[in-house]
Chains A and B, each alone.
Chain A
Amino acid sequence: MTSVLTTGALTLTACGSRDDDKGSDSSKKTTVIIGVDAPLTGQNSATGLGIQGGVQIAVNDANKNNTVPGVTFKVQALDDKAIPAQGQSNATQLVQNEKVLGVVGPLNSGVATQMQQVFATANLVEVSPSNTAPELTQGKNWQTSKSRPFKTYFRTATTDALQGGFAADYAYNTLKKRKVFVVDDKQTYGAGLAKLFKAGFTKAGGKVTGQDHVNTGDTDFSALVTKIKNSKADLVYYGGQYDESEKLTKQLKDGGAKVPLFGGDGMFSDTYIQTAGKTSEGDLATSVGQPVDSLPSAADFIKKYKASGLKGDYGTYGGYSYDAATAIIKAIGNVVKDGKVPSDARTKIVGEVQKTKFDGIAGPVSFDEYGDTTNKQLTVYQVVDGKWKAVKSGTFNG
């Protein structure tokens, strides 16, 4: 009897001491989670995985360089499938996890509208690398009176207000196009972009020969193509994502309409060229910021990304996601000292992100009073020999 007890006690002690060792090891470092919300499967997943990857690299760097002493960063990536309701449920999940002190994402403006309130209520900072709908930062009436709806929301991407106008300016003044057919996918992003392009193009003196809409998920555009051909447009502007535009451009060129398709950053993806093949040659897209591959500041990032074995490419937003995550990490560094997370950490971090100012890999990072990036760089890309090639970079102020 005694011996059994002794053995039991010994075993218990042994177990206990092992646990203690482990415990003291990890207690030196506090784990902080950077949340990611993006479409990781299905529609837009190629772009979404680039966001996840960009954040992962930023977190790897922060851990390696011990950017925030006493803190180990981790990434928790949730898949919103580009569905607004899924984004909202992900936001709720992230908010409930006390270890999450900042979130990067989402990809789609339509998803962001459903997530902002959730984060605002919990004072959790959200930095999107790619949302471009102006009302996210400047309110519903952004054209007449700007007012910021959520102080926890920031973005490192420029808005459509600039992208649509920038594209219109390029189409009219550089490409010398005069007649345009405008198509959009009726989503917050696509319709907004198309509307602003239309406004900019007609203001410059161009003519809109027709307008139509498609549904996301549509595949047959033959009737639309005939309409476009009949309108004698010399350019088609598309507001939407690559999923539909890659099929539209193929059917457009196969249908005998030899006019380029011009779109926004939703179309600016390698998948677009892969799927549309030769028919994408000459097509154009605008995107926020400058091409990451052309920036010397991002060379190191690209090298790390390629070596990391992450799925897919960093895509359009990988660089901006890195900067978004870095802004959050730096803010956490100002709030969390020696691994001690104060009880009002989330609120303080929002304030720190607002004040942030540093040179990111994709350009200077700082936010204005609405949470918009102060970096208004935009670039027009064109498909040349089966690759997106930057043809014009510049700033645009409307």
Chain B
Amino acid sequence: MNTLPQQLANGLFLGSMYGLIAIGYTMVYGIVQLINFAHGEIFMTGGFGALTVYLYVLPNGTSMWIALPAMLIGGGIVSVLIAVGAERFAYRPLRGAPRLAPLITAIGLSLALQQLVFNWYPNAKNDLKFPQLPFGPVHIGSISIQSGSVFVIIAAPLCMAALALFVSLSRTGRAMQATAQDPDTAQLMGIDTNRIIVIAFAIGGFFAAVAAVSYGLRYGTVKYDMGFQMGLKAFTAAVLGGIGNIYGAMIGGLVLGLAETMATSYIDGIPGMQQLGGGGWSSVWAFVLLILVLLFRPQGLIGERVADRA
């Protein structure tokens, strides 16, 4: 059996999820030059928001076809509220402060959100079971796609296309580009930059919630600490693609997902590399790739070389 197509597919699903979360990092960085390290937790709360809708809002035994949109909206609302709240109360007061200050706030916020969910959400000490789509794996040729992965493979391109259209065609999207280029001049031109920043946080939050629902459907559980590792990987994806560039985030995610999958499946087959391959090493290879890319292309895969701002 040729496993390459299946492994490529595995990498794509994983990478799409990274890409969705990476959008949040990259948009916020592109506009306010802040690495929002609490974004992984915004992703996590989206998963818990969706689960809450399923467990406590919808009547028992609701069909997943009705429940799924409701869960997406519920998770989206929670993530967006937390992302926007974080911007308003944790980051905005520090705008203009040295960059280290909001970075530390971000890390503090990340820990606080994790502990809040851990302590307050019922039974959050264990993995919480996430509802599943009511159909089995889908087979295309020799590739089989788990029901949970079907969702992400549809949702990720849709989200990306919508975002691309929004940024390039709408008035707000163009204002966003202007703010990213130079917030001060944009403000002088009559753009309400505060509003644009809030929108960037909100979009990032919503995409993180979509990723969290994908995560729940794919792995069957959500957990209070799921944001840490996924957030770190998504941040890596954003840097890999060129932080600040929304297409870069998606490409970086896909490259990272593929790299991990390929490392798991093929590196231990290379003579002399048995000790450095397999599932336990996938993250190591992902970071090796990141270092290599940054050595030769410091701006990331498709990031632009930007001159330092005056």
**Would you call B220 and A277 a contact (CB within 8 A)?**
yes
**Would you call A223 and B261 a contact (CB within 8 A)?**
yes
Residues of A in contact with B, size category: 35 or more
Minimum-distance CB pairs A-B, first 5: A213-B280, A223-B264, A222-B10, A254-B146, A223-B261
The interface residues of chain A lying within 8 Å CB-to-CB of B6 are: 226
Cα–Cα distance between A37 and B158 once the two chains are bound (Å): 50
The interface residues of chain A lying within 8 Å CB-to-CB of B279 are: 183, 212-215, 218, 221, 223-224
**In chain B, residues 1-46, which have Cβ atoms closer than 8 Å to a Cβ of chain A?**
1, 3, 6-7, 10-11, 13-14
Cα–Cα distance between A251 and B3 once the two chains are bound (Å): 16
- A–B pairs, 13, beta carbons within 8 Å: A45-B126, A186-B280, A212-B264, A217-B225, A220-B218, A222-B10, A222-B149, A227-B264, A229-B1, A229-B3, A247-B221, A254-B137, A275-B127
The interface residues of chain A lying within 8 Å CB-to-CB of B278 are: 211-213
**Would you call B125 and A226 a contact (CB within 8 A)?**
no
The interface residues of chain A lying within 8 Å CB-to-CB of B3 are: 226-227, 229-230
Assess whether A351 is interfacial by the CB under 8 Å rule.
Answer: no
**Would you call A243 and B127 a contact (CB within 8 A)?**
yes
The interface residues of chain A lying within 8 Å CB-to-CB of B148 are: 254
Chain A CB within 10 Å, residue with most, of B10, B218, B279, B282:
B279
Please give the distance in Å from A355's CB to the nearest CB on chain B: 39
The interface residues of chain A lying within 8 Å CB-to-CB of B264 are: 212, 223-224, 227
**Would you call A223 and B283 a contact (CB within 8 A)?**
no
Chain B proximity mask over A239-259: 1 for CB below 8 Å, otherwise 0: 000010011001100111000
The interface residues of chain B lying within 8 Å CB-to-CB of A233 are: none
Assess whether A395 is interfacial by the CB under 8 Å rule.
Answer: no
**Would you call A217 and B229 a contact (CB within 8 A)?**
yes
Assess whether A57 is interfacial by the CB under 8 Å rule.
Answer: no
**Would you call A223 and B219 a contact (CB within 8 A)?**
no
The interface residues of chain B lying within 8 Å CB-to-CB of A271 are: 126-127
**Would you call B220 and A255 a contact (CB within 8 A)?**
no
The interface residues of chain A lying within 8 Å CB-to-CB of B137 are: 254-256
Assess whether B172 is interfacial by the CB under 8 Å rule.
Answer: no
The interface residues of chain A lying within 8 Å CB-to-CB of B299 are: none
**Would you call B146 and A255 a contact (CB within 8 A)?**
yes
Of the candidates A214, A223, A227, A277, which one forms a contact with B129 in the assembled complex, judged by CB atoms under 8 Å apart? A277
Nearest CB in chain A to that of B274: its residue? A211
Please give the distance in Å from A193's CB to the nearest CB on chain B: 16
The interface residues of chain B lying within 8 Å CB-to-CB of A227 are: 3, 264-265
* 5 more CB-based (< 8 A) A-B contacts, given A219-B215, A223-B262, A255-B146: A217-B229, A220-B218, A223-B265, A226-B10, A271-B127
